[in-house]
Amino acid sequence: MPGQDVWVKPEHVAIIMDGNGRWATARGLPRSAGHKAGVEALQRAVRAVGDRGIPWLTLYAFSSENWSRPKSEVSDLMGLLKFFIRRDLAELHRNGVRVRILGEREGLQKDIGALLREAEALTRANTRMNLQIAFNYGARDEIVRAARKAIAAAQAGEFDRLDEAVFASMLDTADAPDPDLVIRTGGDQRLSNFLLWQAAYAELVFLDCRWPDFGEAELDAALAQFGSRQRRFGGVVARDAS
């Protein structure tokens, strides 16, 4: 948000959960074991972020590009999404978490589509924390889908002039604040088609730890880095402005 100086605590944290495969390989385990351990880390992350009073968390669980992985791995990841929702939805709901799924729904298996709708419908009225799970998500695809919606809305005469706020309202993340902090585990330093519009002014923190090893200590280290950064949003810091 322009004009805001330093934020001690972010309002919205987004995470690229990378390194499951390498975590498993380093232990002589199949990659699927890494993804399974990744689900436990995901559950820990939701709790830890909620416990720190951060109201928005977005997790990159399956990208539009992940379909190019071996069939068995794609099917493991689909199975884990179902496992996660079936096992953890009730707890998320009890804890006041509103779940929203980002990404393209068309083309997903019917039972997965139904589970995603169930998770959103059950938790719709919750207000303690917002959990967005990017599944079958790619930022370029999201932007193109939003552009199509904008064209249709313009043709229907729903707005006079397309501006940033109108366009943002057509993204999957409509009404969510932009992420202040994007964390990527696994050592690589790139965004991999994640929240390209929304992360325009996000602070990026890259951690070497592999996703299954992510826990409270790693989250706190990322938050400490965030707290030490000076955010200028293209402007100048207050003390330099005159």
Smallest Cα–Cα separation from 98: which of 60, 61, 126?
126
Pick from 13, 14, 15, 42: which binds ligand FPP (CB under 6 A)? 42
Contact between 116 and ligand FPP per CB under 6 A:
no
Is residue 104 within 8 Å of 123, Cβ to Cβ? no
Residues 83-102 that bind ligand FPP (CB under 6 A): 84
Tokens standing for residue 18: 């990378």
66 assigned to active site: yes
> Which of 13, 15, 77, 223 is the binder for ligand FPP (CB under 6 A)?
77
- Residue 18 annotated to the active site: yes
Identified binder of ligand FPP from the candidate list 43, 66, 126, 225, rule CB under 6 A: 66
As a whole number of Å, the CA-based R_g of the chain is 18
Count CB-CB contacts under 10 A for residue 189. 8
Nearest distance in Å: CB 209, ligand FPP:
12
Pick the catalytic residue: 5, 51, 66, 136? Answer: 66
Query: Which residue, 57 or 61, is less far from ligand FPP as judged by CB?
Result: 61
33 interacts with ligand FPP by CB under 6 A: no
How many Cα atoms sit within 13 Å of 177 on the Cβ side? 16
Longest CA–CA span in the chain (Å) reads: 60
- Taking the C-alpha atoms of residue 69 and residue 73, their distance in angstroms, rounded to an integer, is 6
> Which residues lie across from 16 on neighbouring strands?
60, 184
Distance CA 112, CA 211 (A): 24
Residue partners of 88: CB distance under 8 A and separation at least 6: 43
Which among 13-21, 103-111, 170-178, 217-225 is the span making contact with ligand FPP, rule CB under 6 A?
13-21
* Minimum distance, C-beta of residue 90 to ligand FPP, in the bound complex (Å): 16
Is 46 near ligand FPP (CB under 6 A)? no
* Binding stretches for ligand FPP (CB under 6 A): 17-22, 35, 38-39, 42, 61-62, 66, 77, 80-81, 84, 186, 211
Q: Give the catalytic positions in this structure.
A: 18, 66
